[in-house]
Amino acid sequence: MFVVIAGGGRTGAQLARSLLSENHEVHVIEHREEVLARIHKELPTEVIYQGNPLDTQILEQAGIKDAQVFAATMTSDAENLSLCFLVKERYKINRTIARVNNPRDAWLFDKKFKVDVAVNQADILSRLIEEEMSMGDMITLLKLKKGRYSLVEEKIPENSGAIGVAIKDLKLPTSCVIATIIRQGEIVLPRGITTFEQGDEVFAITDAEGARELAKTLGISDQSQISLTTLQP
C-alpha cells in the first residue's frame, strides 16, 4: 500500500514509522524547518518531501497520483479538510483519513468534505471513559503496534513536580506522546504550552520503559502501581 501523509508532526511521524515497519510505501510532506530537522533523524530521508502540502506541485512530487491512501495530520482542521477535499476531487484517492484537532469541528469531517475516516482523539478517549475502563493510577487501556506500545492513563497527584509546567518543558521519555488530558470531566487537547493541574488524567502512548519514566516525571512515587498488561493482537 502506498500512503501519502501531510504533516510530519508527532502524529504524522508516528504513523509513518508504523506503516514503514509493516513494509508499506510512505511519503511524508512537511514544510516547518524545526519539524523537518527532527523527522530527518527519525525517518529515512527518501520518504520526506519538503514543502507545503496545500501546494499541488508538492503533492504531485510526493506521488499523490499513485497513492491509495492519503492521511491529513496537520495541526489545522481547516487544512486537513481542504486537503482531503482536494485529493479526493482532483486525484481520485481511494481513501482519505483526517486528524481532528478540535472536537468542536468533528461534525465537519464527513463525506461532504471527502473525509472517509476522521480520527478524533477526544471521541475515542471519551468512549473509553464512558465504558469505565480506568482501573487505577496507571493502567494499560489499549495495546498498540504488536505489543510494544500502549495507551496508558496517569492521574496527576497532589504535590507533583509537573503541576504548572508546560508539556514542552517536561523531560518526557522519547518514546512517549501525550494523547489527551481529562480535566474535571472536560477534554483538553495537549499543546506544547499546555500545563498540568492536580487531578488531571493524562493519556499517553508509550512503551513499558516509557511508562515507568512518565510516572516518575509526573510524580508517582509508588512504581508498583504501574500495570502494563501485554495483550496479543
DSSP conformation letters of the chain: -EEEEE--SHHHHHHHHHHHHTT-EEEEEE--HHHHHHHHHHS-GGGEEES-TTSHHHHHHTTGGG-SEEEE--S-HHHHHHHHHHHHHHH--SEEEEEE-SGGGGGG-SGGGT-SEEEEHHHHHHHHHHTT---SSEEEEEEETTTTEEEEEEEPPTT-TTBT-BGGGS---TT-EEEEEEETTEEE---TT-BB-TT-EEEEEE-HHHHHHHHHHTT---GGGEE------
pLDDT digits (tens, 9 = 90+) for 101-112: 887 887 888 888
Within-domain flag for 125 = no
Residue ranges making up the domain that contains 67: 2-120
Confidence (pLDDT) at 133: 38
Quote the number of domains for the chain.
2
Within-domain flag for 198 = yes
What does the DSSP 8-state code read for residue 47?
A: G
Question: Is 228's pLDDT higher than 50?
Answer: no
The side-by-side arrangement of strands in the sheet containing 69-72 is 48-50, 25-30, 2-6, 69-72, 95-100, 117-120
109 and 188 belong to one structural domain: no
154 and 207 belong to one structural domain: yes
158 and 192 belong to one structural domain: yes
pLDDT digits (tens, 9 = 90+) for 125-161: 444 444 433 333 334 444 444 455 666 778 888 888 9
Residue 133 belongs to what H/E stretch? none
105 and 153 belong to one structural domain: no
- 158: how many CB neighbours lie within 10 A of its CB? 8
Domain CATH code at residue 189: 3.30.70.1450
Calculate the average pLDDT of the chain.
80
Within-domain flag for 127 = no
45 and 104 belong to one structural domain: yes
91 and 153 belong to one structural domain: no
| Average of per-residue pLDDT across 62-75 | 93
61 and 147 belong to one structural domain: no
Confidence (pLDDT) at 222: 53
Confidence (pLDDT) at 224: 43
Confidence (pLDDT) at 121: 60
Confidence (pLDDT) at 225: 42
61 and 146 belong to one structural domain: no
**Cβ-based burial of 130 (10 A; exposed 0-12, middle 13-18, buried ≥19):** exposed
Question: Is 215's pLDDT higher than 80?
Answer: yes
Within-domain flag for 233 = no
Domain CATH code at residue 112: 3.40.50.720
Confidence (pLDDT) at 86: 93
Its pTM stands at 0.56
| Average of per-residue pLDDT across 56-62 | 95
Within-domain flag for 89 = yes
Least confident of 119-128, 140-149, 196-205: 140-149
Confidence (pLDDT) at 172: 84
105 and 42 belong to one structural domain: yes
Within-domain flag for 164 = yes
